[in-house]
């Protein structure tokens, strides 16, 4: 992991920086590289275009850490609208991904579960998968509890697990039978007692978790752009062809399109995570922190705009 990740995420949380970045045309332009648009219509256009190129998709309405039950309800309403929109387009393989804190997890688990339930009912009728994103480590217990309850009532609900968390090595043994798990490295700033800090350790944990999840009978969405991990997964599948039906590749919109195309052309299922909405700032900062070159591009675009006469 980049040593600049911590400082970048801390600076990004500064209120002044956030205000400048979100209001400036340069900030919005950089966000457009990673975000499909601000409206559902714009996102659906991207979803249809990707479908035409042979990719399935997973739609995510940006937004997190809501402060009132009304905001949680509004987010769930927006998700049910997006599910109806997906359903109206026959043959489109598009799932949805929700953030627990966007559905009110920080207010109460019961609220989050109730809002998630509304989304799952709508999705079940439409035969659409819903995946639960994983956020900062303090919410993992509550998120997994919500997932277990939801999974007891619905087939098509999956959850994300983060390879950098030390606890994930045991969490994988406590999942409901035949779960669908999106395996990621992890995008939040976590202390060493909670999360592995060295890239090599995270990559090793990722590979171990991938094999363990499959051995335990779960399905794995391999959500990474790391060419070495992707090669390892392809080699594994070549020698374990029976596991192929339980593995899908997932990548983020706008990142490593070369790898997305290569895997799809080799016949692997590739799903692109398509975020949309007006609340793109926290998502963008995580993408900037993953790759300092992105930050450099972002800061220089802002600086050009802020320069007198610029
Ligand atoms: C579909 C999907 C869903 C996700 N959901 C979650 C979630 O719910 N919770 C969570 O904590 N994290 C989530 N993540 C993010 C994840 O945890 C990582 O932070 C992110 O994927 C970057 O790590 P990497 O695995 O690609 O490997 P890295 O080692 O970080 O990157 C490997 C290569 O990918 C490219 N790359 C990676 N990131 C960027 C970037 N931002 N810009 C440009 N190039 C880049 C670079 O070429 C880099 O060398 C998700 C990721 C994906 C793909």
The predicted-structure confidence for 207-227, as pLDDT tens digits, reads as follows 999 999 999 999 999 999 999
Regarding whether 300 and 182 lie in a shared domain, the answer is: no
Mutation test of ligand 1: which of 189, 224, 271 has the most ligand atoms closer than 8 Å to its C-beta?
224
Regarding whether 119 and 24 lie in a shared domain, the answer is: no
The count of domains in the chain is: 2
Regarding whether 137 and 76 lie in a shared domain, the answer is: yes
Asked if residue 239 has pLDDT above 60, the reply is: yes
Q: State residue 21's pLDDT score.
A: 77
Q: State residue 26's pLDDT score.
A: 78
Regarding whether 154 and 17 lie in a shared domain, the answer is: no
Regarding whether 134 and 30 lie in a shared domain, the answer is: no
Q: Write the residue with the smallest CA distance to atom 50 of ligand 1.
A: 184
Q: Write the residue with the smallest CA distance to atom 31 of ligand 1.
A: 226
Regarding whether 127 and 257 lie in a shared domain, the answer is: yes
Please give the residue range of the domain that contains residue 8.
1-35+280-310
Regarding whether 262 and 141 lie in a shared domain, the answer is: yes
**Unique residue bearing structure tokens 């688990």:** 109
For residues 205 and 211, the answer to whether their CB atoms sit within 8 Å is no
pLDDT band at 94 (very low <50, low <70, confident <90, very high): very high
Q: State residue 185's pLDDT score.
A: 98
Count CB-CB contacts under 10 A for residue 11. Answer: 16
Instruction: State in Å: Cα 256 to ligand 1 middle.
Output: 10
Instruction: State in Å: Cα 225 to ligand 1 middle.
Output: 6
Mean pLDDT, the chain, rounded, equals 93
Regarding whether 158 and 82 lie in a shared domain, the answer is: yes
Instruction: State in Å: Cα 37 to ligand 1 middle.
Output: 20
Regarding whether 126 and 99 lie in a shared domain, the answer is: yes
Instruction: State in Å: Cα 61 to ligand 1 middle.
Output: 18
ipTM reported for the complex, 2 dp: 0.98
Q: Kindly report, residue by residue over 157-198, the tens digit of the pLDDT.
A: 999 999 999 999 999 999 999 999 999 999 999 999 999 999
What is the rounded CA–CA span in Å between residue 206 and residue 177? Answer: 20
State both tokens at 254: 């706008």
Mutation test of ligand 1: which of 9, 158, 187 has the most ligand atoms closer than 8 Å to its C-beta?
187
User: CATH number for the domain including 47?
Assistant: 3.20.20.220
For residues 221 and 250, the answer to whether their CB atoms sit within 8 Å is yes
Q: State residue 309's pLDDT score.
A: 53
Asked if residue 1 has pLDDT above 70, the reply is: no
Residues with CB under 6 A from ligand 1: 133-134, 160, 162, 182, 184-188, 223-226, 250-252, 255-256, 273, 287, 290-291, 294
Regarding whether 147 and 28 lie in a shared domain, the answer is: no
Regarding whether 198 and 251 lie in a shared domain, the answer is: yes
Regarding whether 220 and 293 lie in a shared domain, the answer is: no
Q: State residue 305's pLDDT score.
A: 66
| Least confidently predicted of 18-27, 55-64, 210-219, 279-288 | 18-27
Instruction: State in Å: Cα 56 to ligand 1 middle.
Output: 18
Enumerate the active-site residues.
133, 182
What is the rounded CA–CA span in Å between residue 65 and residue 233? Answer: 34
Specify the ligand 1 atom closest to the Cα of 250: 1
What is the rounded CA–CA span in Å between residue 218 and residue 258? Answer: 28
Q: Write the residue with the smallest CA distance to atom 44 of ligand 1.
A: 255
């Amino acid at each position: 992991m980049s040593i600049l990740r911590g400082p970048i995420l801390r600076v990004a949380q500064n209120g002044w920086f956030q205000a400048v970045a979100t209001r400036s045309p340069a900030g919005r332009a950089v966000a457009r590289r990673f975000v499909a648009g601000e409206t559902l219509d714009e996102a659906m256009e991207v979803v249809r275009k990707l479908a035409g190129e042979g990719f399935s998709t997973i739609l995510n309405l940006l937004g997190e850490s809501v402060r009132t039950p009304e905001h949680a309800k509004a987010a769930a309403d927006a998700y049910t609208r997006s599910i109806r929109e997906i359903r109206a387009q026959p043959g489109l393989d598009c799932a949805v991904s929700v953030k627990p804190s966007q559905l009110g997890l920080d207010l109460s688990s019961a609220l989050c579960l109730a809002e998630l339930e509304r989304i799952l009912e709508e999705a079940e009728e439409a035969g659409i998968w819903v995946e639960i994103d994983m956020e900062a480590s303090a919410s993992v217990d509550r998120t997994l509890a919500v997932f277990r309850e939801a999974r007891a009532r619905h087939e098509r609900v999956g959850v994300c697990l983060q390879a950098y968390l030390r606890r994930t090595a045991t969490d994988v043994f406590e999942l409901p039978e035949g779960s669908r798990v999106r395996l990621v490295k992890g995008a939040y700033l976590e202390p060493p007692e909670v999360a592995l800090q060295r890239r090599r350790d995270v990559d090793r944990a990722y590979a171990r978790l991938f094999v363990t999840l499959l051995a335990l009978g779960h399905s794995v969405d391999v959500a990474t752009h790391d060419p070495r991990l992707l090669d390892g997964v392809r080699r594994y599948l070549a020698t374990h062809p029976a596991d192929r039906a339980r593995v899908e590749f997932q990548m983020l919109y706008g990142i490593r399109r070369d790898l997305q195309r290569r895997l799809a052309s080799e016949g692997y299922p590739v799903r692109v995570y398509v975020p949309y909405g007006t609340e793109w700032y926290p998502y963008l900062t995580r993408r900037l922190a993953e790759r300092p070159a992105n930050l450099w591009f972002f800061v220089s675009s802002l600086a050009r705009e802020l320069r007198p006469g610029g």
